[in-house]
């Protein structure tokens, strides 16, 4: 996070307090100092040692090849908000109660498997154990990542029946109560579809149609990540340059052509260009091979993965506002590469209020061996990027980069 850069959507008078709470080593002292500015915010800290002020825990879980995981170390979560601060001051207690909730996000792979598993029989023991674990712990569920991706993906919503069946069985599973059942009973349970499931599936389907016709921000963010990945692959496999020159080219591309600064995605791409020996980075980017079949489709899938990671703090903000509690969301995925990059660069701190969400990750682009002049160009070019984001032709840029990549591939 660049101190010189302006925080998008943040009132100018609030910027010093937010920057300090996200970066200073003693966030509790910062919160006390800037309480007048931060009292309307929810601040979630994951980078403490063992202290936490939440009374219940949802932990990362691996079941076979399935992973339930958060984007930070939720076990160490400390939540700072007006409710906690005033209760702690009144009670003179080390810990005061906070309202907390957990929600598990079903991604596209999990959603597409649900009808097969719940309608046609539970042949995958690990998947059955996963569903049992979720229901037996009474976690709230959402299919928002699936509904966003399938509605905005150019190849999404092609099969009305498949999409609708996925939604229908998601809501039937969400409604299911299994308290009297054992795991073996659950495995053999016939799932009944209720009128309520059809109503909820109808509502989500209609919302997906609305998103497809009118949502532009999320679509543009995902396409921007896709374009960044195209540029990364071109730099990786194109003309040989020293690493610093490659990063200079990439950041100039972000500032002068793309018009969107996405720090976590840029950091991961930079790490990939550095030929990082981290197995997780190599695994995530392994799909970006020049000879790979359906290469652009695979890169588009990676862009959606990175979008979902970046969008989760915003999803938490919305859920928390609706529930009047701090809601921490989890992914379910079978993608080992996605799991690896989340674990490599988790969110350490988050701030959200009724309008904005901001996340600070463990690692940043400042850790990469990049010239100071190139790094300074990022905050210096912020206004130019904002204009470019509003006025630039992203679709044309994508077409140019896809053609450049295909020429490189065939070259």
Question: Would you state the pLDDT for residue 280?
Answer: 85
Question: Would you state the pLDDT for residue 203?
Answer: 96
> Do the Cβ atoms of 326 and 99 come closer than 8 Å?
yes
Measured on CA atoms in the order 380, 227, 265, 155, is the torsion positive or negative?
Answer: positive
The CA dihedral of 311, 317, 322, 325, to the nearest 10 degrees, is: 130
Reduce the DSSP state of residue 288 to 3 states and report it: coil
Reported as half-sphere exposure (CB side, CA atoms, 13 A), residue 170 has a value of 30
Model confidence pLDDT, tens digit, residues 277-290: 788 888 999 989 88
Query: Full-prediction pTM beyond 0.75?
Result: yes
Q: For the chain, which residues make up each domain, given as ranges?
A: 218-295+365-410
Question: Would you state the pLDDT for residue 186?
Answer: 66
Question: Would you state the pLDDT for residue 51?
Answer: 62
Question: Would you state the pLDDT for residue 156?
Answer: 64
Measured on CA atoms in the order 95, 51, 24, 8, is the torsion positive or negative?
Answer: negative
Residue 219: CB partners within 8 Å, gap ≥ 6?
152
Model confidence pLDDT, tens digit, residues 44-85: 999 876 566 565 666 788 999 999 999 998 888 888 888 778
Residue in the structure block whose two tokens are 């992973």? 67
pLDDT along the chain (411 residues), means of 10: 54 87 92 91 84 64 92 88 76 63 89 82 78 87 91 76 92 83 66 90 93 83 96 92 96 96 95 86 90 91 94 91 89 87 94 90 95 95 93 95 92 69
Question: Would you state the pLDDT for residue 336?
Answer: 86
Question: Would you state the pLDDT for residue 55?
Answer: 54
């Amino acid at each position: 996070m660049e101190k010189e850069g302006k925080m998008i959507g943040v009132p100018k008078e609030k910027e010093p307090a937010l920057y300090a709470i996200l970066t200073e080593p003693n966030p509790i002292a910062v919160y006390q100092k800037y309480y007048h500015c931060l009292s309307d915010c929810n601040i979630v800290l994951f980078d403490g040692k063992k202290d936490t002020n939440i009374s219940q825990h949802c932990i990362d879980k691996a079941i076979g090849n399935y992973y339930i995981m958060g984007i930070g170390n939720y076990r160490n979560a400390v939540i700072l908000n007006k409710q906690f601060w005033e209760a702690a001051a009144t009670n003179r207690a080390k810990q005061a109660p906070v309202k907390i909730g957990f929600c598990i996000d079903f991604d596209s792979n999990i959603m597409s498997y649900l009808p097969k598993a719940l309608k046609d029989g539970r042949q995958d023991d690990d998947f059955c154990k996963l569903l049992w674990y979720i229901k037996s712990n009474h976690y709230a569920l959402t299919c928002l990542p699936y509904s966003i991706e399938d509605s905005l993906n150019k190849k999404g919503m092609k099969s009305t029946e498949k999409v609708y069946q996925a939604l229908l069985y998601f809501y039937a599973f969400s409604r299911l109560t299994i308290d009297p059942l054992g795991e073996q009973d659950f495995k053999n349970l016939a799932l009944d579809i209720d009128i309520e499931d059809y109503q909820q599936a109808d509502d989500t389907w209609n919302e997906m149609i609305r998103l497809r016709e009118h949502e532009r921000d999320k679509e543009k963010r995902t396409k921007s990540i896709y374009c960044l990945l195209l540029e990364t692959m071109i730099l990786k496999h194109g003309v040989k340059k020293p690493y610093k020159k490659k990063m200079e080219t990439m950041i100039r591309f972000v500032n002068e052509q793309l018009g969107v600064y996405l720090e976590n995605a840029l950091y991961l791409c930079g790490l990939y260009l550095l030929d990082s020996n981290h197995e997780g980075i190599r695994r995530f980017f392994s799909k970006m091979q020049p000879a790979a079949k359906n290469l652009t489709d695979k890169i588009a899938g990676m862009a959606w993965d990175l979008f979902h990671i970046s969008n989760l703090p915003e999803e938490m903000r919305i859920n928390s506002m609706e529930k009047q509690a701090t809601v921490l969301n989890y992914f379910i995925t079978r993608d080992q590469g996605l799991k690896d990059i989340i674990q490599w660069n988790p969110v350490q701190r988050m701030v959200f209020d009724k309008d904005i969400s901001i996340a600070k990750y463990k690692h940043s682009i400042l850790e990469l061996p990049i010239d100071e002049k190139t790094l300074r160009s990022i905050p210096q070019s912020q206004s130019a990027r904002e204009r470019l984001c509003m006025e630039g032709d992203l679709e044309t840029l994508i077409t140019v980069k896809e053609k450049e990549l295909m020429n490189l591939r065939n070259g």
